[in-house]
Structure 1
Amino acid sequence: MNNEVQVMPSTVSIIDSVNLNQLANTMTKIGQMQSVIQKTLRQNHDFGVVPGTKKPTLLKPGAEKILMLLGLRSEFEIVDSTRDFENGFFQYQVRCRLYKNEMLITEGLGACNTRESKYKKLDPFTIDNTILKMAKKRALVDATLLVSSLSDIFTQDLEDMDLNGTNIDESSKQTYTDTSGTISKAQAKRMFAIAQGSVDTVKEIIGKYGYTSSEDVKKTDYNKICEEIESKLKDDFEGTPLS
């Protein structure tokens, strides 16, 4: 029996083996790539901005655009799943692998299930495909953030935030809309995202409808308020003189 203890190389020995000039060039290229990506992606389409969060949230269109810029392709694998038709519970865990030609670069993981807060009030038997697609999307965003060194710029904590205020079964394009009661937290966040984080703009528009807080906004007024916020921002932008 071999009782010898293997000693791992020290940090100094690892650093000694690194070409610092090459490392500096690589870090410069990473910074340049991050700058290009930030200038290329569009807010509320490729990424979302939620007031109170430290980083913008990378969305699926943004992740796909980044992979195109890097010349990478994605492959997906379902690593675990549950399809319980008796009790109406569906869950998927998906792995996304990113390749450069035939070389595996990195991989990401994503999961989704019908008991999540945004899905638990819906008919689970009609959103099976939506749950799978959401797990794939989360895995894709996870892998993209890893491969592009963008974790210090974007987060994926809210990568599936409700930018449309509804939940959509992408396979059938059926929209599930609940118009009873007040808006959800996700819908309130979307209002601020549309307003590009301007609290004053949101307060001004909801004030027209007699609200003093976004928590009091009724779902029946929600779409009209979002449209007014969008319209106001467009008018403000067009009325701003170019420097």
Structure 2
Amino acid sequence: MREAQFSNPNAEDYGEGDYGIIPGSKKKSLLKPGAEKLLKLFKLGCRNRQVDKLIDRQGNFAMFTYRSEVYDLRSGVVIADCEGITNSQENKYRERTVWKKKQIPGGEEITESLKEETPVCDILNTLMKMTQKRSMIGATIIATGASDYFTQDMELDETPAQTKKALAEGAPAKKQERKTVAAAKEKLAVVSHLKIPVCCGKDMIVSKYPDRDSGFHPYYCMTCRKKQPGPDELAKGLK
């Protein structure tokens, strides 16, 4: 089995392999190619079954749960099973980078990167496939008794930068996120007597991310992506 060079982003085979030691962990993490080879080595098969699915387009949230069963190819007897869950609020799925052109003083036009909430409908297939992969790798480790050699506790994100950022800032970011959400709820109570704005025939939602210019959490329309002052900005105006 071949090791992926996660510790060296410049390596030609970075992220390509059967297992690898993800920066920040000590144990080897089994990857999908390695799990498939273990199944073939032990003459085992794997089948996936959807256990649960939740898609809330208005709330911009989705979650998938799959169960993978590893069975003996000759007898068909199930040897091990494992469930995997993926949701759209995980760090690597909840927002994405978009590039927009901006006019600066002097008439020059530049391109800048902005963070925005990821529309859940854009990543449904990604969430589903990731869930299947998680459950399949977990069931393979159990069926082959490979827990002494591999783990599945940590996973590699799509890019080296995302992995390093998640490891270095994961805990502080989650703490700050909780404070931000709590503050938004507190301010929402101040303007609870106001009606939630409607756009495209649906109630707008409060964005989890502050507006880049105002710093406030705006109301957001999931259909046309229109924004308007949110409860925190309105609360400030009432003080």
Q: 1:69 aligns with which of 24, 37, 41?
A: 41
> Aligned pair count?
132
Task: Report the Cα distance in structure 1 between the residues aligned to 2:89 and 2:23, rounded to whole angstroms.
Answer: 26
Residue matched to 1:47: 19
Q: Work out whether residues 73 and 100 of structure 1, in 8 Å CA contact, stay in contact via their aligned partners in 2.
A: yes
Change (3 A) 1:91 1:188: closer
Deviation, 1:42, is 3.2
Deviation, 1:188, is 6.1
Alignment RMSD: 2.0
- Tell me, what secondary structure is at the counterpart of 1:134? helix
Q: Work out whether residues 96 and 108 of structure 1, in 8 Å CA contact, stay in contact via their aligned partners in 2.
A: yes
Change (3 A) 1:67 1:189: farther
Identity of aligned residues (%): 35
Q: 2:142 aligns with which of 134, 139, 146?
A: 146
Amino acid at match of 1:74: C
Task: Report the Cα distance in structure 2 between the residues aligned to 1:189 and 1:117, rounded to whole angstroms.
Answer: 8
- Tell me, what secondary structure is at the counterpart of 1:125? helix
Do structure 1's residue 104 and structure 2's residue 99 form an aligned pair?
no
Task: Report the Cα distance in structure 2 between the residues aligned to 1:149 and 1:155, rounded to whole angstroms.
Answer: 11
Deviation, 1:126, is 0.5
Amino acid at match of 1:42: E
Residue matched to 2:89: 115
Q: Deviations over 1:15-59 (max 9, x none)?
A: xxxxxxxxxxxxxxxxxxxxxxxxx24334211212442201111
Q: Aligned ranges for residues 86-235 of structure 1 at < 5 Å?
A: 86-101=58-73, 102-121=76-95, 122-159=118-155, 161-162=156-157, 164-165=159-160, 183-184=161-162, 186-187=163-164
Task: Report the Cα distance in structure 1 between the residues aligned to 2:62 and 2:77, rounded to whole angstroms.
Answer: 33
Q: Work out whether residues 77 and 95 of structure 1, in 8 Å CA contact, stay in contact via their aligned partners in 2.
A: yes
Q: Which consecutive residues of structure 1, in runs of 5 or more, have no partner in the other structure?
A: 1-39, 166-182, 191-243
Change (3 A) 1:119 1:58: same
Return the TM-score normalized by structure 1: 0.50
- Tell me, what secondary structure is at the counterpart of 2:37? helix
- Tell me, what secondary structure is at the counterpart of 1:137? helix
Deviation, 1:75, is 0.7
Q: Work out whether residues 23 and 164 of structure 2, in 8 Å CA contact, stay in contact via their aligned partners in 1.
A: no
Q: Deviations over 1:179-238 (max 9, x none)?
A: xxxx43x04699xxxxxxxxxxxxxxxxxxxxxxxxxxxxxxxxxxxxxxxxxxxxxxxx
Q: Which has more helix, going by share of residues?
A: 1
Task: Report the Cα distance in structure 1 between the residues aligned to 2:123 and 2:165, rounded to whole angstroms.
Answer: 24
Q: Which consecutive residues of structure 2, in runs of 5 or more, have no partner in the other structure?
A: 5-14, 96-117, 168-239
Return the TM-score normalized by structure 2: 0.51
Task: Report the Cα distance in structure 2 between the residues aligned to 1:126 and 1:164, rounded to whole angstroms.
Answer: 19
- Tell me, what secondary structure is at the counterpart of 1:146? helix
Amino acid at match of 2:130: M
Q: 1:80 aligns with which of 46, 52, 58?
A: 52
- Tell me, what secondary structure is at the counterpart of 1:136? helix
Task: Report the Cα distance in structure 2 between the residues aligned to 1:48 and 1:79, rounded to whole angstroms.
Answer: 29
Amino acid at match of 1:147: A
Q: Which stretches of structure 1, 4 residues or longer, exceed 3 Å deviation after superposition?
A: 187-190
